[in-house]
Chain A
Amino acid sequence: MSVQQVPPAAATAPADGSPAPSRAAVRPARTKIVPTVVLALGGVYAVLPLLWVVIAATKTPEELFSTFSGWPSFNGGFTGNIAALDDYGDGRFWLWMLNSLIYAGGGAFLTVVVSAAAGYALAKYRFAGQRLIFGALLAGVLVPQITLAVPQYLLLSEMGLVGTSWSVILPSVISPYSIYLCRIYAAAAVPDEILEAGRVDGSGEFRLLWSVAVPIMTPGLVTVFLLQFISIWNNFLLPYIMLADDDLFPLTVGLYSLLNRGASQPALYSLVISGSLLSIIPIVALFLFLQRFWRLDLVAGGLKG
């Protein structure tokens, strides 16, 4: 299984043509131009919209429609936009950002706790009903979360939770895919010998989970946290259906509602644009910062079935 074989360093290290030293000696390794250009074009395609939003955020609402859109403006448009955004609904934008952070951070944290315990138990114990539980969870991967939205709404409405933060957080905590990844990782990374040694020393099962398995599983758990954080941060339909109160919106729903209002008032477009920029910055920063801690080989290993 690739989880064991590929150390994180190998997954991130650049691959230069090292496999055939004899050939390299015959012919000097020269960078191939066409493949490099194709790959670079892919990078440009990926970055272009982000570059555009940075440029557009520097413009005043009037400049947005009147100046060349490929070039930034330096007439104080940026600070003006931020101030306008800050003013909007008494700082509602910052509330949206805080909400997104709470939903994604809290939800992903709870997912990791629930999934790590379940994944570890499924990987390291034999117990009656285990196959049933694992089979049901696997089937859960196949059920589209998003088509559950309508019945989840009705159910939470019966429970009196619709319109509260819980209606966004609770359905996000159960993630069959996260449990699946945790199970794979626990099976591959946590050695049975250490668990046995711990049992001989008289450790309880929960102590083994907490002080033996969890530290070993941490790299995998970071990946699960990040995948889940991004998926909740990016979620739109669930909060869109569940929430009616502006003050509880996450960024996605908040900015969408702003754009909806902007359709009749193009002046709001500048707000949407600078809001989009500000909403991307934290997640892109987190993403770049934590890049090296990702164990995407885990995801690929999981996909191999």
Chain B
Amino acid sequence: MTSVRENTPGPGRSGRRGPAVAPYLMTAPAVALFVVFILVPIGYAIWLSLHAMRVRGTGLGIRSEVFIGLENYLDAVRDTAFYEAMQRMLGYGLIMVPATMGLALLFALLLDAPRVGGKRYSRITIFLPYAVPGVIASLLWGFIYLPAVSPITAALEALGLPAADFFGDVSIFFSVANIAVWGSVGFNMVVLYTTLRAIPKELYDAARLDGCAEWQIALKIKIPLLRPALIMTSVFTLIGMLQVFSEPATLRPMTNTVTQDWVPLMRVYQQAFVENDIHLGAATSVMLAGATVLLSLAALAVLRVRNARSDR
């Protein structure tokens, strides 16, 4: 952030011109939309999560919204379906996050390494799935997993091998994770690669003269310099894990292994729109949002510590 500020002029210029209205008018649409579509919904969600529909009075009581404190949160935490959904999400994330980051880093380093062929082709093709909507990607992979039409099953059969079950109790985690990995490796790879390209090449020359192999340069020079970008992309990938929805939701019509509340966000959807308990759904989604914000803040704190250390 500090580097951005250095590029901008110091105060004083606007002082000469008196209080300018222009910047306020220019930011007004963004601020208005921010308030209406982000700030108010957050406040509303928190308000909802602290209330519930209750019948008041005796006999033919009228249902009305009453303040119930943290009761919804207790219900949300005690909800076994949510708890199981969290476990499944973590299992999925344990595969998806390391695979995405590992492959993105590997491909970025290979793209940046000298004397590797076909870079332009690889860079474009690996980035390509980013343009494919998650739902469409899930449809495609879903069909590839579906025994009746799967080219993988067909290939295994042709080789006389037993058919793979992509919708098994354990394999489903890999199947869902694979779809997300397929869709997100390319974007992360390009971000890491672009960061690598901005590193002055002279840094490597001395190491090369000392007889360092390319993989040693990658390990000892490039990866440490990539750390801030790696942390940020990892956080985005982790946030993606918390928000996983469209992949399992799309696979659901194809298999019974994926339940209606397979991951937390599916549980939120179910609570809010199937069971019509908006208040419980709000509490669950506030918890999810809270986890995301905490995660991001932790990553920013780590980054700040690292930057401060490298500035010294």
> How far apart sit A279 and B247, CA to CA, in the bound complex (Å)?
17
The answer to whether B296 touches A304, judged by C-beta atoms less than 8 angstroms apart, is no
- Among A15, A127, A251, the residue within 8 A (CB) of B119 is A15
Instruction: Check B48 for interface membership: any CB of A closer than 8 A.
Output: yes
B197 contacts the other chain (CB 8 A): yes
- Given A125-B20, A174-B38, the answer on whether A46 and B282 have CB atoms closer than 8 Å is no
Residues of chain B within 8 A of A149, CB atoms compared: 285
Name the residue among B26, B118, B253 with the largest chain A CB count within 10 angstroms: B26
- CA–CA, A250 and B179, complex, Å: 21
A17 sits at the interface (CB 8 A): yes
Return chain A residues, CB-CB under 8 Å to B150: 69
- Given A47-B125, A236-B245, A300-B191, also A14-B120 (CB < 8 A): yes
Indicate if B171 sits at the interface (CB-CB under 8 A): no
Answer yes or no: A74 CB below 8 A from chain B CBs.
no
A151 touches B198 (CB 8 A): no
The verdict on A133 contacting B246 (CB below 8 Å), with A31-B117, A187-B4 known, is no
Q: What residue in chain B is nearest A132 (Cβ atoms)?
A: B31
CB pair B30 A142 closer than 8 Å: no
A35 neighbours in B (Cβ, 8 Å): 110, 113, 116
Whether A43 lies near B278 (C-beta < 8 A) is: no
Among listed B50-58, B82-90, B133-141, B159-167, interface-contacting one: B133-141
- Whether the pair B115, A16 counts as a contact (CB closer than 8 A) is yes
Q: For the complex, is B44 an interface residue (Cβ under 8 Å from A)? A: yes
CA distance A230 to B131 in the complex (A): 6
Q: How far is the CA of A279 from the CA of B132 in the complex (A)?
A: 9
Tell me, yes or no, whether A164 is within 8 Å of chain B by CB.
no
Nearest Cβ in chain A — how far from B213, in angstroms? 11
CB-based A-B contact count at 8 angstroms = 349
Interface membership of chain B positions 181-203, coded 1 if the CB is closer than 8 angstroms to chain A and 0 otherwise = 01001100011101101100100
A176 surroundings in chain B (CB, below 8 A):
34, 38
Interface residues of A in 1-48 (CB under 8 A from B): 1-2, 5-6, 10-11, 14-17, 19-20, 23, 29-32, 35-36, 38-40, 42-43, 45-47
A273 within 8 A of B: yes
Judged by a CB distance under 8 angstroms, whether B95 is at the interface is no
| Number of B positions contacting A (CB below 8 A) | 122
A208, chain B: closest CB distance, angstroms:
9
**Interface size, chain A (Cβ < 8 Å):** 120
Task: Give the contacting residue for A39; candidates B37, B116, B190, B232; CB below 8 A.
Answer: B116
Q: Is the CB of B133 within 8 A of A251?
A: yes
B128 located at the interface, meaning its Cβ lies under 8 Å from any Cβ of chain A in the complex: yes
Residues of chain B within 8 A (CB-CB) of A16 are 114-115
Question: Does A147 touch B at the CB level, under 8 Å?
Answer: yes
B122 and A43 contacting across the interface, CB-CB below 8 Å = yes
* A118 in contact with B103 given A151-B48, A176-B34, A206-B22 (CB within 8 Å): no
Within 8 A of A (CB), among B260-312: 265, 268-269, 272-273, 278, 281-282, 285-286, 288-289, 292-293, 296-297, 300, 303, 307
A118 contacts B133, CB within 8 Å? no
Q: Is the CB of B27 within 8 A of A142?
A: no
Task: Give chain B nearest CB distance to A64 CB in angstroms.
Answer: 6
* Interface check A173, CB cutoff 8 A: yes
CB-CB under 8 A from B135, the residues of chain A are 234, 236, 252-253, 255-256
Say whether, besides A136-B34, A205-B22, A287-B128, A155 and B116 are in contact (CB < 8 Å): no
In the complex, the chain B residue whose C-beta lies closest to that of A264 is B253
Contact B33 A188 (CB under 8 A): no
Min CB gap B205→A, angstroms: 6
B257 within 8 A of A: no
Interface string of B201-234 (1 = CB under 8 A from A): 1001100100000000000000000001100110
Binding site for A on B (CB under 8 A): 1, 3-4, 7-11, 13-14, 19-20, 22-27, 29-31, 33-34, 36-42, 44-45, 48, 103, 106-107, 110-122, 124-137, 139-144, 148-151, 154-155, 158, 182, 185-186, 190-192, 194-195, 197-198, 201, 204-205, 208, 228-229, 232-233, 239, 242-243, 245-246, 249-250, 253-254, 265, 268-269, 272-273, 278, 281-282, 285-286, 288-289, 292-293, 296-297, 300, 303, 307
| 7 more A-B residue pairs beyond the given contacts A1-B3, A126-B13, A174-B37, with a C-beta to C-beta distance below 8 A | A15-B114, A150-B272, A153-B272, A259-B253, A279-B136, A300-B192, A303-B229
The 8 closest A-B pairs by CB, nearest first: A17-B114, A205-B22, A118-B30, A151-B41, A121-B26, A174-B33, A300-B194, A234-B133
Interchain Cβ contacts under 8 Å between A and B, 16 examples: A15-B119, A17-B115, A32-B113, A32-B116, A39-B107, A40-B121, A42-B125, A50-B132, A52-B144, A70-B151, A117-B30, A121-B27, A136-B39, A147-B285, A179-B30, A209-B26
